[in-house]
Amino acid sequence: MKKYIFENNTSITTILCKEIIDLFDREKYKNIGTTLGGINKKIKDTTDFNIPKDETSQWFKIEKFLYKELNKNLEEYIKTINSQNYQPDKNDDVDGTIFKNQTLMVYSFMIQKYERKKGKYTYHNDFAIDKSNRKFRVITFIWYLNTIEEGGETEFWDDHIIKPIAGKLVLFPASWTFQHRGRMPISDDKYIITGWFYI
In a domain, 93, yes or no: no
Residue 165 has pLDDT above 90, yes or no: yes
pLDDT on residue 91: 67
Residue closest to 81 by CA, chosen among 196, 4, 160:
4
- Which residue segment(s) compose the domain that 58 sits in? 2-84+102-198
Mean pLDDT throughout 101-112?
94
pLDDT on residue 199: 96
Q: How many domains does the chain have?
A: 1
pLDDT on residue 100: 82
Tens digits of per-residue pLDDT, 34-67? 998 899 999 999 999 999 999 889 999 999 999 9
In a domain, 96, yes or no: no
CB neighbours of 50 closer than 8 A, spacing ≥ 6? 108, 109, 110, 111
Residue closest to 10 by CA, chosen among 169, 162, 174:
169
Residue type, 56: T
The CATH number assigned to the domain holding 21 equals 2.60.120.620
The pTM of the whole model exceeds 0.85: yes
Pick the residue with more confidence: 25 or 97?
Answer: 25
In a domain, 26, yes or no: yes
